[in-house]
Each structure stands twice: as C-alpha cells, then as structure tokens.
Amino acid sequence: MNKIVSTLLFSTPLIFTACNPTTNQVVPSSNNNHTQEVINQGSTISSTVTYANDKKAIKNRGMLHIKSFMETLQPTLMGMIQSDPTYKTALGACSTLGQSMADDYNRASDVKIRRTALRYRNPKNKPDATDKTVMERFLATKEFNEPLVVDMGDSYRVYKALEVKQPCLACHGENISQDLQKMLIRKYPTDMATNFKLGDFRGAVVAEIKK
C-alpha cells in the first residue's frame, strides 16, 4: 500500500451527501445466494444478487478501505460547519471534495470506492441494478451495522449502509433553509435527497475488489 493510501488510512468520518430512505419493499431471503424480488409501485422487478457474506476476508478488506475513505473528509467539513453555521460553505464543498477524494483514493488503491443511494443527490451516485437490490435489502431488514458482500463474477462488492446523522439534516432533512434550497436547486436540479429524518437509511459506500 503506497504512501497516499497509508495516509488515508489514518485520517478521520465522511459525511455522506446522499441520504436515501425509500418507500419500496423487498422480500429478503436468509440464504447467501438468492433472487430478491423488489416491489415498486405495484409492479414486480426481479434482480438476481449472489451474496457471499461468508467471505470474511473479503468483507474485512472491503471494510478497511471503506472506513479509511470515510475518515478523510469529516474534519474539513466539520471545520466548515463550525465556521459557517448556515451550512452554505459545507454544502458547496461537500460534493466536490467528496468526489475528488474518492477519485484520489481510487488512483492510489487497487480497491475502488464509490458512494450510491436510492434517492441520490448527485447523478454520479446513481445506483445500478445490483446496488438497488442490496440497498432494498438493507431497508427491509433494517440491519445497517452488518456489511453485505456480493459476488459479481469477476469481483466482489462490499456494501456498508449509512444512516442519517444530525449534521445531514441541514441539507437533507425536512426543514432546509431557503438559502440552502436555492443552492440545491441550482447545483442539483434533479435532487431526490431531501425530507429525511434522523436514523433513516442514507445510502451505501461500496468497495469493489477484483478477484
């Protein structure tokens, strides 16, 4: 692991910008390998996801990278919030810093990190079919603490669920200030990541590990 990654491993938690509860339902299975049936507005969508939660070494490796990535942005954001209680500075920097730090991390590591959400703010975080199915499972089980491992064939994905924390509510909650609303409309005209409550499902950080 090179110097950049080593530095990231000892940095401090990322405030994820896409809070993501949803009204969809999922029929979960207790098996590691199964087809999940996602029910969305009366129509049934089936997506096959092969879980590999027994791969402890893969899970641990993925979580090591997820935690190190999540510990890179928080001090900067918290400093911005403390210096500007309106959250304008933090909102302006959160997405750009978060994306640039993810890009920097991925250039320095063979494990690729990204963020995704069912109700995303930044279109770059749009989930694919596997992401959606896994996040629907998190919503159905409410087991946010335990990561999920998915076998993608040529790689593994480790998913870590994220919950809405108090600092998220200023930009993702039910009572966003008018100034922040104007900024959101300008920066993210298709934003779906608002009207959330403390403890809601926010989305996931994903670590992709090549086989």
Render 130-191 in DSSP notation, one character per residue. HHHHHHHHHHHH---SS-EEEE-SSEEEEEEEEE--GGGHHHHSS---HHHHHHHHHH-TT-
For residue 36, the model assigns a pLDDT of 47
pLDDT tens, position by position, 34-46: 544 443 433 444 5
pTM as predicted: 0.78
Confidence of residue 171 (pLDDT cuts 50, 70, 90): confident
- Provide the 8-state DSSP code for 51: B
More confident residue, 98 or 51: 51
The pLDDT, as a whole number, for residue 73 is: 67
- Residue with more model confidence, 19 or 143: 143
The helix (run of H) or strand (run of E) holding residue 66 is helix 56-70
Fill in the DSSP letter of residue 108.
Answer: H
